Structure 1
């Protein structure tokens, strides 16, 4: 298995970009946090701890309390690649997170984003 550069990227360096993207489209940091917590099972305190510890993406998802089972229903294209076609589990989780933030920024209702 090849190690992608993104696996070693600090989640804390990408998180503000997720927030900026959402805020540019009228969404809030709280909504970004809600989406991340839904996907990973982190509490708000746990999420803040991961950001403060400069955890990389591999560690962020390895330490996630519980990946939401409904995240398997996330489909679509991110960075020109179909999410459902990604075989590497870590890369797929990262792209699912990207897709959820994209949906948030595009104005999709939060309950639809969370596959409720």
Structure 2
């Protein structure tokens, strides 16, 4: 499924603060913790717990959220389908980054082991 310009613009203008409570609900329903959620967000973006809270308080858009993030060098290893889109086929970089985050949170909620979520193995490290 190809993303449209309108879809990409909608995602860019969405605030991280508006989606964050949904992330918490999703992972807690499945017995995961907010600390695990923060670990996943930090791995992908470089933002620590304090910075995440500041971004929520400032109501930054996903555009600003990812513009200032230090995307993990192994983020390209995040593959698969999320929200009906195959991540590898998304051509808009921001939309792809948001879907990376969605995919990691989905994996967390599904009970995947943290080392798998964070793409850690013998040949690739954090």
TM-score range relative to shorter protein? over 0.9
Matching residue within 87, 91, 96 for 2:91: 87
| Number of corresponding residues | 115
SS state at 1:92 partner: helix
In the alignment, what sits opposite 2:14? 9
- TM-score, normalised relative to structure 1: 0.95
In the alignment, what sits opposite 1:55? 60
Output the CA distance in 2 between the equivalents of 1:18 and 1:88: 22
SS state at 2:74 partner: helix
Matching residue within 24, 29, 37 for 2:34: 29
Q: Does 1:43 align with 2:42?
A: no
In the alignment, what sits opposite 2:105? 101
Output the CA distance in 2 between the equivalents of 1:25 and 1:44: 21
Deviations 1:80-102 (A, max 9, x none): 11011111110000001000000
Q: Contact 2:38/2:48 (CA < 8 Å) preserved in 1?
A: no
Q: If you compute each CA radius of gyration, which structure gives the higher value, 1 or 2?
A: 2
Judge which range, 96-105 or 2-11, deviates more: 2-11
In the alignment, what sits opposite 1:18? 23
In the alignment, what sits opposite 1:114? 118
Over aligned residue pairs, what C-alpha RMSD do you find? 1.2
Matching residue within 71, 75, 81 for 1:71: 75
